[in-house]
């Protein structure tokens, strides 16, 4: 029998060069895996099977100090690997955090030359992404923050960031790149505090942009959990605002440093409701696993890690279907929903007559408060479905 959890490119699962290519280096220790070239990383992803595409920062592909001949050679090897494996480039982004020039921010730096360099570097990186057909362009402001608010006015920092995004939207339009920009929030790491700590902050910020239609968000599980927030609700806010342009899937223990674990490996129940949300709302974008394998992993285990991300997603997708079709679940959901088109339409659109009618109504608070809400039973049934008990 065919494996029901085998991924296919139709599932739009993607990985970054920096994730499967991660060497295991951390702040306390040296690499535990050899550094692979971009083409070798693509070949590794080809071995994983069922992957849709690959994403990169400009300098994951072309080192910051590469000569133009070196850049051409790397790009042509990368393009050959993409053809060999039938993988495509889905998303591109800029590394605006690694170089010491960005130690106090990129677009938000106090230094006008650093700000100009950040915009220049992003334009070049957009050119590179477009050369490989990337459709989504992510902005993660890894250094856009502060350790001390003595260093700069945070309102001025927001203005600088806004001016950069407005300018880069124009650049994409003028070049005909057709990018959709996706802004990625994170509360901290590597800065003590980052200026756009949650997806909600970006959803508000986008409304202040000159080209707000082409800008959405790229929420990441770990980032919202680092802030102690419910990721499912953050994604719901993005979906509801029609701004879910991309998503970074991984996992994270609450209250810990940035861990980037395999999708679904820590908070299974949150992962379940997340997959259910994405599938219920027919999210059609890329599902990017911004995670990396344990530092103990070798090449074969990195492949298992990548397979595991996709497999867990697909198992949870199947669980979500089962949940929605489950008799007990349906019965309880039917019992708790008390629809009334008449009541809803009374305040669905405002009119003085509606307001008068509503003001004149009396409500039976005791009856409302005494209706049964068997959420313990519903949640236990959810857990049993998740645990594989029929
Ligand atoms: C992190 C971020 C990054 C970004 C990447 C794309 O915590 O380091 O999640 O991995 O997603 O830089 O912009
Ligand atoms: Mn992250
Ligand atoms: Mn990310």
- Cα separations (Å) of 31 from 41, 72, 136? 16, 27, 30
pLDDT in tens, 24-52: 999 999 999 999 999 999 999 999 999 99
Render 105-164 in DSSP notation, one character per residue: -STT-S-HHHHHHHHHHHHHHHHHHHHTT--EEEEE-TT-EES-TTSS-HHHHHHHHHHH
Determine if ligand 1 sits within 6 Å of the CB of residue 248: yes
Atom of ligand 1 nearest to the CA of 220: 9
Q: How confident is the model at residue 390 (pLDDT cuts 50, 70, 90)?
A: confident
- Domain ranges within the chain, ordered by starting residue: 9-325, 339-386
Of 58, 60, 248, 290, the catalytic one is 60
pLDDT in tens, 151-183: 999 999 999 999 999 999 999 999 999 999 999
pLDDT in tens, 98-115: 999 999 999 999 999 999
The mean predicted confidence, pLDDT, of the chain is 98
Using only C-alpha atoms, what is the Rg of the chain? 23
Residue 303 has pLDDT above 80, yes or no: yes
Question: Quick one: average pLDDT of 252-267?
Answer: 97
Give the sign of the dihedral formed by CA 18, CA 317, CA 377, CA 383: negative
Interior CA angle at 225 toward 220 and 230, to 5°? 95
Gap from CA of 297 to ligand 1 centroid (Å): 21
Residue 1 has pLDDT above 80, yes or no: no
Q: Whose CA is nearest to atom 13 of ligand 1?
A: 140
Distance CA 90, CA 83 (A): 14
Q: Among all ligands shown, which has an atom nearest to the Cα of 57?
A: 1
Question: Quick one: average pLDDT of 301-311?
Answer: 98
Name the nearest CA neighbour of 140 among 62, 39, 58.
Answer: 58
Residue 348 has pLDDT above 80, yes or no: yes
Gap from CA of 140 to ligand 1 centroid (Å): 6
Gap from CA of 293 to ligand 3 centroid (Å): 15
Of 22, 57, 225, 292, the catalytic one is 57
Q: Whose CA is nearest to atom 12 of ligand 1?
A: 140
Determine if ligand 1 sits within 6 Å of the CB of residue 58: no
Q: Whose CA is nearest to atom 1 of ligand 1?
A: 142
Name the nearest CA neighbour of 241 among 277, 207, 266.
Answer: 207
Determine if ligand 1 sits within 6 Å of the CB of residue 93: yes
Residue 278 has pLDDT above 90, yes or no: yes
Question: Does the annotation mark 211 as catalytic?
Answer: no
Tokens at 192, concatenated: 């003590």
Pocket test for ligand 1, best of 27, 59, 184, 198 (most atoms within 8 A of CB): 184
Distance CA 157, CA 195 (A): 8
Count Cβ atoms below 10 Å from residue 125 Cβ, excluding itself.
23
Count Cβ atoms below 10 Å from residue 218 Cβ, excluding itself.
30
Question: Does the annotation mark 379 as catalytic?
Answer: no
Class of domain 9-325: alpha beta
The set of residues, in sequence order, having a beta carbon less than 8 Å from that of 121 and lying 6+ positions away, is: 58, 94, 96, 106
| pTM for the model | 0.97
- Give percent of the chain above pLDDT 90: 99
């Amino acid at each position: 029998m065919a494996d029901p959890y085998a991924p296919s490119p139709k599932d739009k699962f993607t990985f970054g060069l920096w994730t499967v290519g991660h060497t295991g280096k951390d702040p306390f220790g040296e690499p535990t895996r050899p550094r692979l070239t971009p083409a070798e990383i693509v070949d590794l992803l080809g071995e994983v099977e069922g992957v849709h595409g690959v994403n990169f920062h400009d300098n994951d592909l072309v080192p910051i100090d590469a000569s133009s001949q070196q850049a051409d050679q790397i790009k042509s090897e990368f393009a050959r690997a993409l053809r060999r494996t039938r993988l495509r480039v889905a998303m591109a982004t800029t590394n605006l955090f690694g170089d010491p020039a960005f130690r106090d921010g990129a677009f938000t730096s106090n230094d006008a030359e650093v700000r100009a360099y950040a915009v220049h570097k992003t334009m070049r990186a957009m050119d590179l992404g477009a050369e490989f057909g990337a459709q989504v362009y992510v902005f993660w402001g890894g250094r856009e923050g502060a350790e001390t608010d003595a260093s700069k006015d945070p309102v001025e920092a927001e203005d600088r960031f806004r001016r950069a995004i407005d300018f880069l939207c124009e650049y994409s339009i003028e070049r005909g790149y057709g990018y959709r920009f996706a802004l990625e929030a994170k509360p901290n790491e590597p800065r003590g505090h980052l200026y756009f700590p949650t997806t909600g902050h970006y959803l508000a910020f986008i409304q202040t942009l000159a080209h707000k239609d082409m800008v959405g968000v790229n929420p990441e599980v770990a980032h919202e959990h680092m802030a102690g927030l419910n990721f499912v609700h953050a994604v719901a806010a993005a979906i509801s605002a029609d701004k879910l342009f991309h998503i970074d899937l991984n996992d994270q223990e609450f209250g810990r440093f940035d861990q980037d674990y395999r999708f679904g490996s820590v908070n299974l129940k949150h992962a379940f409701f997340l997959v259910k949300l994405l599938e219920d709302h027919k999210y059609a974008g890329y599902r990017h696993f911004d995670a990396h394998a344990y530092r103990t992993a070798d090449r074969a285990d990195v492949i298992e890690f990548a397979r595991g991300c996709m497999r867990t997603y697909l198992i949870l997708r199947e669980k979500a279907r089962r949940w929605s079709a489950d008799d007990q679940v349906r019965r309880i959901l039917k019992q708790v929903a008390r629809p009334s088109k008449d009541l809803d339409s009374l305040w669905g659109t405002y009119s003085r007559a509606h307001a008068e009618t509503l003001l004149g109504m009396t409500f039976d608070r005791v009856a409302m408060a005494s209706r049964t809400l068997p959420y313990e039973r519903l949640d236990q049934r959810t857990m049993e479905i998740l645990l594989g008990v029929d």
